[in-house]
Amino acid sequence: MGPGGEPSAHQSDGIVADLRLSMLSAFQDYGWFILLGGMVLYMAYSRIHSSLNSPSPSRTSNTNARNPNASREDPDKILDRQEKIAAARARMQVSETHEHMNTKHV
């Protein structure tokens, strides 16, 4: 031990060397298993990640079954519908704000 109870540089170098030797030994003994395990984990991760980001076939087929002409809809109708939705949300927000203000003063 060095001054103040700290490990000396010689001891910490020995710990690092021992760690390196044990890691090297583990890779020599189990290297192929570690490599194959890493590949399997990566493949599983990529499949799970891609399945979470893509729409499921059941959701896509349900949407198409309810509205088979959804992809053929006129862009002007879509824009008009979105504007109506935005106006309805604005009206609802105004009414909620008025209700909140009325209950606050009561």
User: 59 and 77 share a domain?
Assistant: no
Domain that holds residue 78: 73-106
The last residue of one of the domains, among 51, 66, 81, is: 66
Looking at residue 6, its pLDDT comes to 56
Q: Mean pLDDT, the chain, as a whole number?
A: 81
Question: Is the pLDDT score of 64 beyond 70?
Answer: no
CA triple 51-56-57, angle to 5 deg: 130
User: 44 and 90 share a domain?
Assistant: no
- Predicted TM-score of the model (pTM): 0.36
Number of other residues whose CB lies within 10 A of the CB of residue 63: 13
User: 19 and 2 share a domain?
Assistant: yes
What CA dihedral angle connects 72, 74, 79 and 82, to 10 degrees?
A: -50
Confidence of residue 56 (pLDDT cuts 50, 70, 90): low
Looking at residue 88, its pLDDT comes to 96
Identify the residue with better confidence: 42 or 4.
42
Identify the residue with better confidence: 83 or 55.
83
For 67, list phi and psi in degrees, rounded to 5: -140, 85
